Structure 1
Amino acid sequence: MNLFARCTAFAVLLSAATPGHALPREQTKPFHIHGKALTPDGKPVAGATAMFLATNFSGGKPIASQTTRTDADGGFDFTAPADSPHYQVGLLYITSAEGVGLAMAGENSRIILQPRTSVRVRLVDEKGTPEPNTALHPQYFSWRHNNEDIFVYWDKTLSALWNVRTDAQGFATLNGLPQDYGVRLFVEDDRFADLGWRSEVKLAKSAKTGDAILHLQHAGAIKGLAVYGDTHRPAAGVFVDAMGIGDDDAQGVATTDKNGRYTIPRLKPGSYDVSLSFPPNEANEWTAVAHPAVAIAASKQTEGVNFTLIHGGVITGHVTDPVTGKPVANASVSVTGPAHPSTSRGSLSVQTDNNGMYKIHAPAGAQTVSVYTYGSNSYVEPQTIKIADGETKTLDWKIAPPKEVRAIHGVVVGPDGAPVAEAEVLLQDPFSGFPSKTTDEQGRFTFNPSLFGDDARLFARSGNLATLAGVAPPADDSSITLHLTANALSVFSGQINDQDGKPLPHAKVALVRWTKRNGGMDVDSVNTDDAGRYTFPATYTDVEYSVRAEAPGYASNYSTQIPAAAGKTLAMGSVALTKADSFIGGVIVDPKGKPVAGAKVTVSAISQGEAVTDKTGRFHISGAPRDKTFLQVEAPEERQASVQVTSGRDDNEITVKSRAEIEEESKRFVAALDADTTNHGDGSDAQTLLKTAESKAAGGGKSVLLVFHASWCGPCFMLHRFLEDPKIAPTLEKHFVIQDLDIWEHDDKKKWENPGGTDIYKQYGGPNSVPFYVVLDANGKKLGDSIHNGENMGMPTQAGDVQFFLDTLKQAQPTLTDSESATLKEGLKQHASL
């Protein structure tokens, strides 16, 4: 069953939090940084060493470094300097005998010092051979306690605190790391590709973290020259970007030297778009044609990727507010085209000035132009235009202005109206995630100046007291008061079992908070007890939660999402983990059936569940979950697939398609869906329709094939096409009376529903997704349904699902011949895609 074989009744919109960005110069004025260093139980840490670092976004160099000692109350105080538009991040690092802590610098920072842990890391190459005498150090830290990401990517000062080298067996031990943090490691060897998120290690809540193995991949490099076309003089100080096609984790950047030369090392083998860009907010009148789809091979340097800078054509215009007509400053106008191909993630982007004006130089050809204002939630359809060298074209836009940078500050009070010190204040925001602060002695808190979305909400808690619901922050700089009340928190509990229903002790369970704009984010984690039970006390209401469970040797799994309820203990139910002792194999092909080499195949439910197809397009992954699991495939030329396959098989065939092919297929499907006037009900009573079908079945010695569907559901449409196919229908109608019941329609299509259909759906164990079918005898007794391996397979498309469908029909109607089954099987194959 592929990912699109069924439709759930409810959908969750996932959206990644927008990362930090460079602020205009006037928004990076000096600001005061103060706070406290505390132990995990809230006691101040005196005499700790506190370091403040400010780093430069584009160059990775420290702008400022200050060091002090915490006072008797654990306090520290810094003044951050004003800086250029490249100012990106301030980092606080505090260490003492009690532990170590890191955090993003804030005007009122409470840093919890975690006890130290050590981790032994082993570096091996693609063949599993150890890599000796290789340097590595932390590159990035994160801590779920306050959901803030601590970046050290651009700064060598902090990285040097943990520099180590591997021994002859490829092992290196990093000591003095903060417990319970996540750490991303950087291997200082240009022979190997940047590991990206694959190098992240979760540090334990103990003095020793289990060994971690990093699988290195030999890298390629790009080398070239940039010159100005009018004089052929070297173009110094220009950025050269390599963006992986179909691989978001494949990228590299370099700056041309005084001779215009550059080298981009540490690139994963694959295909890259290579283009030029210029320092942010710097006016320039140059552009260059990009090099699309540059092939990078392991341990090889691709040379001659040269650029000639030209003036090209000009795209200019004004951006105005559609309501007031006033100019919109700091709007982002982006262009993809010959200078920045759309096949990768890069684009040329400029900011409008105070008059709302922008100007972009681009090479001759078709250009796709879009406009965006940060935090406004406005969308304007991109436009495609053609320009010639020396030509100027005007393109004006209307869009809401960006949100203003502002701080959020206020006070937390208890039921008696008194300020509450040491209270947690959580900011739920689509742009910044879930950062949190701790109130000071007067109950005050401050979130540093940033852009906050329209649906940002504040929550607070202290002990058993909490806000009853999220509170919208003020639109201006005024203070807000958060009121704590009793019985405002939820408690979640549940059970983790194996596939046989036996409790799984010591399984790791993460609590996941869900919002429409942010998607899911882990906010807490515990381990199950000896009976497989877990509890999460004191969780905020006004949002939904689920849990994700994982254990060594098992595939991870999620519970369903349920809303929190104030003052109640809610049961998450039982989550079953499937043993990961099987395998998955098969072949990756393009839409023409040609094998695809070099495609990355990932099993998301297990760690190290990854393989790359060989020259025949084949792959094999051991340690896969039993029964079924989802695969993600990323192939060259930006082709991709997301499918559910059956484990224990080496004959899975998966077709990868480009975004353009998927979009074109979707357009054809939508057009067909709109044109189909039969893929919905007529409002007839569902119980009457079912009784009529049972009567017909009794008179003809047949069974009833009862299909629940909805007009908006793509897989339902696919199943409908199969059942109505003139080559298929006679075979099915020989043995079955087919009856559709329309449920779950929306808005003006409610009239298509068959009243009572949802009750019948529930009666026969409907799994909260469609299409769902049930095979009944003439008396309404269920003989089978579309639940395969515990899941609704919907429209059968994968080999295992197709066979299950045919077996279900055969069990209900033994007179179904092998020849007829073969006809149905071929029909399912023909209708297995949109």
Structure 2
Amino acid sequence: MRACLLLVTLFIAASVSATAAQAPQRPPLTNYDPNTWKPFISQEGSFEVAFPGTPAIITIPQDTPLGRLLIHVYVVRTTVAEFGISYIDIPAATAEPQFVKDFLDGGRDQMVRDGAVVISEKDMSLNGIKGRDLLVTVDGTIGHNRFFLIKGRLYSLSIATTPQTAFKSGKPSSTESERTDFYQTISGRFFGSFKITLADAVADAPQQTAGGAEEILAGVDGKTDLYPADADAKKEIGDAVSRAAVEHKRVLLIFGANWCYDCHVLDQALHDGEAGKIVSQDFLLIHVDIGEGERNADLVKTYKIPLDKGVPAVSILESNGRLLYSSGDGEFEAARRMLKKDLVQFLNKWKRLRS
């Protein structure tokens, strides 16, 4: 444990120094609208996140008591804030609750020793993965950090800004309320979009047990071509509506993209178990590719899908093509945390009643 706590010290120090050294080499971005941020996918890091631009990527070799390890840092600098994600694989780490607590406490304590003042701190979880939310201030800069430890890998998310820095349409805000609202918007987009895509990450999430814990949708081991590049979604929807009238079914549209892990989780659930039976009997399933947010924009608008709430997103059409439902609040965006019973209940609610 002592070696692991020392490693946290090295990890935080290296991540901060890399951010300071690398970010100024690029002109700061001026993308203030988080609704336009595009997903960034790291296959090597097994994570997805919405960044305001393409990150600078730094790999730092670090000699540690556990051997020579690599710290991976992703940084985007804007005139509003600096956004960063770092991760390191730690051979001796475990998922034991006390280990995770001590590990994250060590990270906080090191930040305090380095001059940080803790504003707020709370334990949290991401898809059952234990984590810590930590808000600190250092020399006038506010640092908002989140740490997650999963399967021997430590992730660190960070936003660095100042109390005076906030923008509205590219212009400095004049009130504290505006700055607070804007920060909540950008931090919500950044932190809320973060997903860990390790194939076995869901192993730490609640599963069905003899004690009665609820069962969530099963994770997937890999990604298939759910959204082919040459698919004509508009034609597929038209064909499905024609069939639905004959087969007395409704049309289930799933908006998403191949890069989206939760899209694959939801698709698997719609083909398995009780949910799969309902879909097979009562719906025609169509996938609508959003690409990086630019594809099928007309269908996104027609079927009232707010992409800023994330994907997968769902619309349901009557057999005559009339829109019955669209997921306006990101209800399916975190499909990996969705309960199987809730998905079944949703499908039963929206299937056609049979005489």
Q: Same fold (TM over 0.5)?
A: no
TM-score normalised to the size of structure 1? 0.21
> Which structure features the higher share of strand residues?
1
Task: Choose between structure 1 and 2 for higher RCO, CA contacts under 8 A separated by at least 6 residues.
Answer: 2
> Which structure features the higher share of helix residues?
2
TM-score normalised to the size of structure 2? 0.45
